[in-house]
Chain A
Amino acid sequence: MSSRAASTPVNMLLSVLVTCVASASALAFTYGATYERILAQEKAAEERALLAALPGASSFEALEEDLVERADAAAGDTPVSGVWVASTESGEIGWTIRCGPRGYGGPIQLVVGLDRNGKVTGVSIVTHSETPGLGSSVLEDAEFMDQFDEWDGADIDRSAKAFDAISGATKSSVGVRAGVLAAGYVYRDVLSEQNGGGERE
């Protein structure tokens, strides 16, 4: 067996220092090599979710920071992290709202699409940490996810009364509902007034 470096202060300091520097440079290299791919992956995932929530739109433009902040305030407990204006060549067709209501295993990041009258066009899931096979099957259940279509953002509380949760996954179900409710509040309190002016670029 080879002899071991003695635990003198200099040896200890030096060995830890060298290990940390070597590890830091290896990580910097890996980070640099993967950074752009990771960014592209995240952007693609978000675009897919936006498009799934509001099919037919050709472009999405993020709303200004202060409007998103107002939207977040309007949504109450549910954090809203982004609002996009969706348009086709012929003009604006609605909004997509990204929020993170609480599910069973943590926030369910989802995107709710609304048309210009505040009717829900679709709900799509970006990320979640629900129990696979139980909560997660709720999010893959087309019948469950489609029930939100046509909910009225202007009077979301009344629409929400017709809600059907899935037994065995109540918290996941209610989490998705909270997200749609939040989007409704955002429409009622913030977006509906954007409708009249129409002078935004």
Chain B
Amino acid sequence: MSEWLSTFRRGLSVDNPLTVLMIGLCATLAVSTKFEGAFFMGAAVVFVITSSTALISAIRSLVPQQVRIPIFIVVIASFVTVVDLGLHAFFPAVYTFLGVWIPLIVVNCAILGRAEAFAYNNPVRLAIADGLGMGFGFGGVIILLAAIREFVGTGRLEFMGQMLVALPSWYRGPGIVLLFPGAFIIFGFMVAGAGVINRRIHGRVVETSLHCTIEEGGRK
């Protein structure tokens, strides 16, 4: 069980897909303009990454090495399409906001990356831990980034039509925060912050992310 927990925790901290591995950044920078949208994006990614890594890990002994990538993509794309249809049917407002970024979860390299680097070589139990950890790691960072951008850029923070925080109406946020340059700048500070925290707590920043747990031909 401790192995499960440590795998799960790695996704949140020292192997965080966004601040450490830096995969799946394009969707992150584009969607993180609104707290609400980022929340559902994070939720969608948690669902897709956990279910795809679980399924891929379950069928891994049946997947020949040379066609593994097409099979991973089909599995991931199927889960993404399920999310796409589900959001369209039940959360039309969120669907409108996320727009093209839902189908593009397919090419979120965080998901394919984890399928390839972890789920293909590890049992289902650990693959789920990794998927959840990576998903929540991704979701947490994108939500935080979106909250900062929405709050600084517009002076307000809304969720499902509810106003969470609002500055007085004379506040005019710097528009750049809502555009891509602002996303890069704030994200840069977040990477730096995550580096400091990881170094303090774990005494390392990127060591573990540099060697993926790859097992060749059944050898551990």
Contacts and interface: CB of A to CB of B under 8 A. Distances in A.
Interface residues of B, number: 41
Given A4-B60, A7-B66, A15-B63, A41 B88 contact: yes
A131 interface: yes
Interface in B21-75: 33-34, 37, 60-67, 70-71, 74-75
B175 interface: yes
Interface string A26-51: 11001100100110010001000000
A124 to B, nearest CB: 14
Contacts of B150: 132-133
The SS class assigned to the B binding surface is helix
B89 A12 contact: no
A111 B62 CA distance: 53
Contacts of A90: none
Contacts of B75: 19, 23
B220 interface: yes
B33 A132 contact: yes
Contacts, number: 96
Interface stretch (B78-86, B109-117, B187-195): B78-86
A5 B68 CA distance: 11
Chain A contact residues (Cβ within 8 angstroms of B): what range?
A: 20 to 34
Given A1-B215, A16-B67, A16-B70, 7 more contacts: A1-B219, A12-B64, A23-B77, A131-B178, A133-B150, A134-B175, A134-B178
6 contacts: A1-B218, A5-B61, A11-B64, A23-B75, A31-B85, A133-B175
Interface of A: 1-8, 11-12, 15-16, 19-20, 23, 26-27, 30-31, 34, 37-38, 41, 45, 127, 129, 131-134, 137, 168
Interface of B: 33-34, 37, 60-67, 70-71, 74-75, 77-78, 81-82, 85-86, 88-90, 92, 96-97, 99, 121, 150, 153-154, 173, 175, 178-179, 215, 217-220
